[in-house]
Structures are given as C-alpha cells and as structure tokens.
Structure 1
Amino acid sequence: MDEAKAIKAKVARLAKGQPPRVLDLFAGCGGISLGFQGAGFRIDAAVELDSLAALTHATNFHGGLEPDLFAKHALARDITKLEPDELVGELGLGSIESAFDVVVGGPPCQAYARVGRAKLREVADHPSAYKVDPRGNLYLRYLHFVRAAKPLAILMENVPDVLNYGGHNVMGEVAEALQALGYRVRYSLINSAFHGVPQMRDRVFLIALHESLGSDVRFPKAVRHMVLPPGYGGTRSVALRLVDLFGGDSFEEADHGSPDLPGPVEAREAIGDLPPITAHLKGLLKRGARRLDEAVPYPKKAKLGEYATLMRTWPGFEASPDGLRDHVIRYLPRDAAIFREMPSGGEYPAAHATAVRLWQERIAQLKAETGRPVAQSERDRLYRAMVPPYPVGTFPNRWWKLRPDFPVRTLMAHIGKDTYSHIHYDSAQARVISVREAARLQSFPDGFRFSGTMNPAYRQIGNAVPPLMARRLAEAIMEALQKAAAPRSTQRDAVAAE
C-alpha cells in the first residue's frame, strides 16, 4: 500500500469514531502507553528489550487476552534484530502499513552516536540505511519503524542532553529526517512539574503530524506554575546551546504558565495519604529481595487531595479494595538515624555532617558511661559503622531528603541501586521512598502493577515517562487527529442526511 492510500485509510477509520492505535517503541513498563490510553488511544503493540518491563507492559495493557496471545505481547524483543513486518505478523495485526495510527517512544540516550544529518537523511531515503552502522543506533531504528508504519502522528521523548550531544542537536536532526518523510515537526524542552506531576523532570518531547492532515503541532499549555531551582536553569542553558531559536529550527519554548495558576503538586500531596512504614525501626525488616504481592490497607482517615484521588481512581487502574501493593522499601540499617536527623531538602553534605554529629554523640555517650576515653580502634570501628564512606565534595546530590512542600527531584533508573536520592520527608519514618511512592511521584496510579521484585520495579519506574505528562501530550495529539478527521465525518453525515 502506498503512503497516500495508507494515510487516507487511517483518517477514514478515525472519522468513523475508531480509537487511534498506538505502537510504543522502547516502551519500558508503559508510562507513555498509559498516558495515551488515558487520552482515548488504544495500545496495540509495544517493543521492549527488558523482559520484566515487557511483562509489566503486557500485564497492564493486554492482561485480558488469552494466554498464547498474552505471551506474545509479553515477549521481550530486541529492536535491532526485529523488522516491523515481523512484529505485526507475530501479533496478528495485519500489514505494518495499516496497523498503527501513532508511533511513540524514547530511544535510550546512551545509544546515541555522532551520526549527524547525512546519516539521518540517508535513513529517511533508504529504509535499510541503518544497517550501515554496525552499532545499530537505536534512534535510527525508531525512524525505520516510522517509515514502515506510516503513522499519522509521532511522539518521541528523551533527556535534555539530546539537544547537545557531542556537538550535535540530535533531536533537531531527527526533526529534519521526519520532515523529509512528510511530517510537520516541533520539539520542546518541558518540565513535568508544569503539567501536574509532583516531580521536576526536564525532558525533550518531539511531536510530528503527517502533513496531509493539515494540522499544526501544538504542545499543551501549563496547568501549574512554579519557579524552578537555579540548578535546573543551568542544565537547560547547556542543553539549549545548540538550538537555533531564530532560524529554521523546529524547537518551541515550553509554556510555563503564569503565577495565577495553581502551584506545583507537592510531595506531601502526592504520597502523604499512603500507609506509614516503620517495620525497619522495630527490627522487622531483613535484607534481601522483596516481592510486590503483599497488600497493605490504606489509612482509614487519610485526607485525599486532587492528586491522590486521581492516583486512586485512574480509570482502569483503580485502587484495589484489598489495599495498596508494591509499598516496600530498601533495607538500610546504618542510615535510619541519619534519615531521621537530617533536614528536609538536605543533600549528602548535610547527611554526612549529621552522621558525624551522631558519631560524636555516641563517642561522648560511651565516655560518660565508662568514665574513660574511647579507644581509637573503637572510635574507628564506630565511624565506619555510622558514617557513609562517600567523599563530601563528590556528587553532593547523591543523597536528598524530600521537602514535603515542594515537588521532588527527577526520579532516575538509578533508584534501583540505592534510592538515597529520594529520602522520605517524614523523619518519624526515617527511610527512603517505597516502590509505590516512587510510582506515585512518577504519576503511576495505584492499580498499575509492576513485574519482578523491588529493585527491577524501582528501575522500571525511574526509566518511565510520567503517565500524566504523556497524557497531556496525547490529548494535544488527539485534538489534532480529531480535527483532521472531523471534516470527513461531517461530510459523511451530510450525505447521509440527504
């Protein structure tokens, strides 16, 4: 089927009221998919290399299928070894040209090589050009699937560094390649805190609409307002250094709203209604992998704000009457006293200073109890047991205690390693955030289930696009698609009325 005929058939399908069908590439556990589903799209297929993330995606979006077909959706797939027609053949979706209306996804940033415009134009002209590069640049594979699927709309997401990677504005080069394929393209650096996510998360989003739709790309307006901390401004400046705001570039400044908008969703509003965790303070928590299948009752008198209510009532992912799942934490016995004593908003230098003070107080206590100085060997042993070993001047933001009255910092996949970057603001609980709290801070609703044990779940969450941010973008794309399909629908109704 040629491109014009494929595009026309897809628009005609939408004009009949059918939901747009999504292919999610580099899907992870499904943050983008969840946002698009929430905006009225249908998630028909996903490609994800990580087996647990692929299982999470299938469980949440294809859990009602018969076992054999579910297993095909849950299968981890390597996009560098998968052809588009193979994917639709395995899933029984017909031809690749007619199967999907929208392609979404975020190729991993670490896969970027210094390819440049010439290679991207080559990909646009020749569907097998990516094979020239034996490293299999993953965003070239993304373009390969776009060329094969001929979607009406595209969403691409990535970290701010994609705007300035080795002297290349990679997202700008991708925009040029998509323009060569017949799309109108815009991209923007957006912070999710301006769209109702309780997290200051800067990411680059690209939206492309097929030019035959006649629709201009529009990004959603901010619904919240805040002044970002100074560190975010510096990072954004470096990322935007290669963006040409005055030439033919497709970059668009993000809307940050005005001070008359509501303030950002705070950490306390996002997770304050969840059950407290104190078992570790009573010696009831042991080291080892923690499963995610135990349900914990919600507090009976918790006051629910707008955000917590959404997390409990997201259509299709409502809170279970059995209680909250995935509410488990990492075992960090050395650090509970530090977590309790360090100030909200404190970073690693504050944590280290707190630990040293606690160590000094312990030495003084032992001296008072024994009436004699503490031996140097015992002082050294206690220091090693009580004070974290990391240099104070290196990675000061390695630790951070949440502020209850402020959005949290960016959740990253690294929370699967230690979670020190997100210490709970409640000193009485003296702990890092749980898996479910991480999910809440990413805007995953309480009914969304994660596969695997605690560490893989943290990693899946940190890697995801916040579903609420994805939904805001999906709503803008849906509006464009409905506008393009409306004239055809109106014309058909007029003919039927004659």
Structure 2
Amino acid sequence: MNIIDLFSGGGGLTEGFRQQGYNIMCHVEMDKNACDTLKTREAYYYLKEKKQLAIYASYLSGEISKVDFYRCIPAKYISKVLNYQISQNEFPNIINDINNLVGNKQVDGIIGGPPCQAYSTIGRARNNQIKGTDERVYLYKYYSLFLEEYTPNFFIFENVKGLLSYKDIFDEELLPKIIEEFESKGYDVYYKLLNSAEYGVPQKRERLFIFGIKKNLDINARAFFEKLLDYREAYISINDLFFDLPEVNAGETKNDYSKNTPVPFVKKNLRCSNKYLTLNTSRPNNRRDKMIYELVVKAKNSGKRLKYNELPNFLKTHKNEEYFLDRFKCLNENECSHTVVAHISKDGHYYIHPSLRQNRSITVREAARIQTFPDNYYFESNRTSAFKQIGNAVPVYLANKIAKTIRNMFYF
C-alpha cells in the first residue's frame, strides 16, 4: 500500500510501516537534520535492494562524505523527502511536489502527527498564553486538507496524551473538534491511548492514536484497536536491551559490540548484523554531574528516588528546593525505561545509565534502542539533533504492529 508520511520527524512511524512492506511515496518534514536522516534511510533501503550495502557501510565509517554518499543514490529516492514547514503559504507548494512524486498512483494511507508541544501538559500554563497565535495548535486542519486532497483509505494521527484534555481559545475541548473535522472528510474515526510497553516496547510511553478509515469500506475504526490488542506482548528489561553493547564512559564513543550474546528480541529486531553499531556516544559530564549520578544510581539500587533537595549542599547549584525536584532519574535495569522525550537533547540527567561502573547518561544508540530503532538506523547530523529526533519518534516496534494490523484489515 502507498503511504504519504506527514510531520515525519526522524522516521519511527515510517520505519515500522516500511518493515511491513508499505511503499513510502514521500515524507514531509520541516527539520533539516531529520530530513537528512530520512534521506539516509531511503538510501539504505535502495542499497539493500540492490545488494550494495557496502556503500552504506563506507558512509557510516566515514570513508565517503554525505554528498558523495547521496550521489550513489538515484535522485528520485532522495527527492521523496520534502523539507517544508506545513503552513498556509507552503501548502500549495507541498501539494505540487507530492503530486509530482505520486503521479497517478492511489494513495492508500496517510500517517504522521503534528508537533506535540502545543498540546503537552508540560508548560501548559505558558502555552495557554499563546494558543491564539500558535499555529501548531491547528495543524490538524492541514492534515484534514491532505485527507481531502488524496482521499486515502485510512490514516493514523499520533500525538501526546495531553490532547485528551487540551482546550482551545474558546475554552472548549479540542479533540472532539479534531474528530469532527476528520469525520467530515468521509471517515469513520476512533481514538485510543496506547502504552508502548504493552506491545513489547521496552519503554512506558503513552501516546494518543487516532485511526480513520473510509466510511464506504466495510470496516469500522474501532475494529483497528480491537485487532491491535492481539499483538500485545511483554517487554524486555533495560539490562537485556543493553546486554550486548559495550561499556562506555562519559564522553566516549564505542561502536564495537561487546562479546555478550544479544537476547532474542534484540537479535531479531534491533541488531541486524555485527557491522552497524553507530552513534554509541555518551555525553561528557563534569565532576559534579558524575558525583550526582553516582548518588542517584546508589539510591535507585536501594529502592529510593533521590530528589534535588536531598543532595548534599555542595552539589546544589541553586536555592529552589520546592519545585522540579525530580531532575535526576536513573533507568531501572530490571524494568523497561520511562518515557524518552525530546528534552534528552538538552541534557541526560533524566536518563542516567544504571551501571555505577559507567557513571554517565545513556548514549544516542541506547536511546534509539529504547525507541526500538534498528542499530543500522543512522540519525543525522549531530548528537543533539539525534537525541531530539529519537525523543519525538513513535517507537518502531509499535509502529510495525500498527502497520501489520492495518494491512491485515485490508488483506485478510
């Protein structure tokens, strides 16, 4: 089935659909680095099909530049990635570019979710002051225009849990208006809050998914979520997820696997071969951070969560001991991860590695594994951008199951 991918980000949702055999006709994304990530992934799949992955390996190892790497790929694959901010001014240009890519082919599905910051409960008081002028609040209207333009058989719209309670400038709940908007385009629509951990993703991550299917098809939207329940499974622990990765100190990069045998989940879904461990880079941390991390890990091991006001005075940098006391958090090696969010691009204090020997925050690759990106998935073009893309993504393993459920609804 042919898919248009909107608000693509780093491509977690797209990757899950591609793994299930969908044809990604184009991506629309405003962030330049994320676009380069998508182009690199398009290049990977082209080279894989042509049995020329040695070129991909040469790029990852730094033997050839990005420019030379892209020159090895036919332009029609790279041009599938459209670098646009979806807006009123750009909408006609986006449609024109998509039409040039799609041609006369049927668009079977549209997937994606607009930026979530506007709906998030974090910073809501601040966002309430600008909701009248914040275009992100109403990006769903452009999503609706894409539905009207291409009339796909289905769509998947993903966003944060906060959308359930978000109120617009009229102090009215926005979600019912979004549902009504999509229904007006001829779709049966249903929504549900999904926790990735219930579907085998090693991360507790709740996100809202809206599924729509054409009303003239003999399938209802609620059935999608009912069928998706068949793919629930237990998650693996952080210890198992990281078991075959090397030990890394703060500020180090180690792109060689350890001698430990990967657990079956990792071997099947994440570690595609022994060749492609990249971005296993940890942030450098100062002496103070390391001392705090050590205290946080020790507290975690004793079953306690260490708060900021409980730190020794010489480790504190400000006098605010009433708010935001949970600034430091360690992963539980015997459980799955807490939610990875885009703030990880700013610092790693909320994602401290559980190993006292390593005493650091998690690497880019470890964060990507928590989001179930394969190890051969490369994020452009720097550590900060990679963390941001990972934190904003839909977990690939969940996306795969969503794609599989939809495919089975159409092709029994």
**TM-score when normalising by structure 1:** 0.67
Deviations 1:363-414 (A, max 9, x none): xxxxxxxxxxxxxxxxxxxx2xx43447343223322101111111111110
The alignment of Structure 1 onto Structure 2 pairs a total of residues equal to: 358
How much has 1:201 moved relative to structure 2? 0.5
- Which one has the largest radius of gyration? 1
Deviations 1:289-330 (A, max 9, x none): xxxxx7621111x132232223434xxxx2452x51100011
Per the alignment, residue 152 of structure 2 pairs with 151
Larger mean CA deviation between 400-409 and 208-217 belongs to 208-217
Q: How does 1:452-463 map to 2 (within 5 A)?
A: 452-463=381-392
Mapped pair 1:433 → 2:327: no
Q: Which amino acid aligns with 1:428?
A: R
Q: Which amino acid aligns with 1:66?
A: I
Match of 1:424 among 331, 337, 353: 353
Unmatched segments (≥5 aa) in structure 2: 47-71, 121-132
Unmatched segments (≥5 aa) in structure 1: 1-19, 114-132, 225-261, 287-293, 360-382, 484-498
Match of 1:221 among 224, 229, 254: 229
Q: How does 1:444-483 map to 2 (within 5 A)?
A: 444-483=373-412
When residues 107 and 134 of structure 1 are mapped into structure 2, their CA distance, relative to the original with a 3 A threshold, is: closer
Mapped pair 1:51 → 2:22: no
When residues 21 and 62 of structure 1 are mapped into structure 2, their CA distance, relative to the original with a 3 A threshold, is: farther
Q: Which amino acid aligns with 2:406?
A: I
Q: Is the 8 A contact 2:43 2:78 kept in 1?
A: no
Tell me the percent identity.
29
Q: Which amino acid aligns with 2:23?
A: R
Mapped pair 1:203 → 2:184: no
Match of 1:93 among 96, 102, 108: 102
Q: How does 1:210-289 map to 2 (within 5 A)?
A: 210-217=214-221, 218-219=224-225, 220-221=228-229, 223=231, 263-278=234-249, 280=250, 285=251
Per the alignment, residue 296 of structure 1 pairs with 255
Per the alignment, residue 21 of structure 1 pairs with 2
CA distance in 1, matches of 2:270, 2:264: 10
Q: Is the 8 A contact 1:111 1:138 kept in 2?
A: no
CA distance in 1, matches of 2:91, 2:162: 27
Q: Is the 8 A contact 2:6 2:27 kept in 1?
A: yes
When residues 38 and 73 of structure 1 are mapped into structure 2, their CA distance, relative to the original with a 3 A threshold, is: same
Match of 2:79 among 56, 72, 76: 72
Per the alignment, residue 60 of structure 2 pairs with none
Q: How does 1:89-168 map to 2 (within 5 A)?
A: 89-90=99-100, 92-95=101-104, 98-111=105-118, 135=135, 137-166=138-167, 167-168=171-172
CA distance in 1, matches of 2:257, 2:202: 21
Per the alignment, residue 182 of structure 2 pairs with 178
Match of 1:306 among 264, 270, 295: 264
Q: Which amino acid aligns with 2:268?
A: L
Q: Is the 8 A contact 2:166 2:175 kept in 1?
A: no
Q: Is the 8 A contact 1:32 1:467 kept in 2?
A: yes
How much has 1:52 moved relative to structure 2? 0.4
SS of 2:411's partner is: helix
When residues 455 and 472 of structure 1 are mapped into structure 2, their CA distance, relative to the original with a 3 A threshold, is: same
Larger mean CA deviation between 182-191 and 165-174 belongs to 165-174
Larger mean CA deviation between 443-452 and 68-77 belongs to 68-77
How much has 1:197 moved relative to structure 2? 0.6
Deviations 1:428-450 (A, max 9, x none): 11110000000000111101110
How much has 1:75 moved relative to structure 2? 4.3
How much has 1:77 moved relative to structure 2? 1.1
CA distance in 1, matches of 2:319, 2:269: 36
Please state which structure has a larger fraction of its residues in helix: 1
CA distance in 2, matches of 1:87, 1:99: 16
CA distance in 2, matches of 1:418, 1:390: 20
When residues 335 and 295 of structure 1 are mapped into structure 2, their CA distance, relative to the original with a 3 A threshold, is: closer
Per the alignment, residue 369 of structure 1 pairs with none
Per the alignment, residue 3 of structure 1 pairs with none
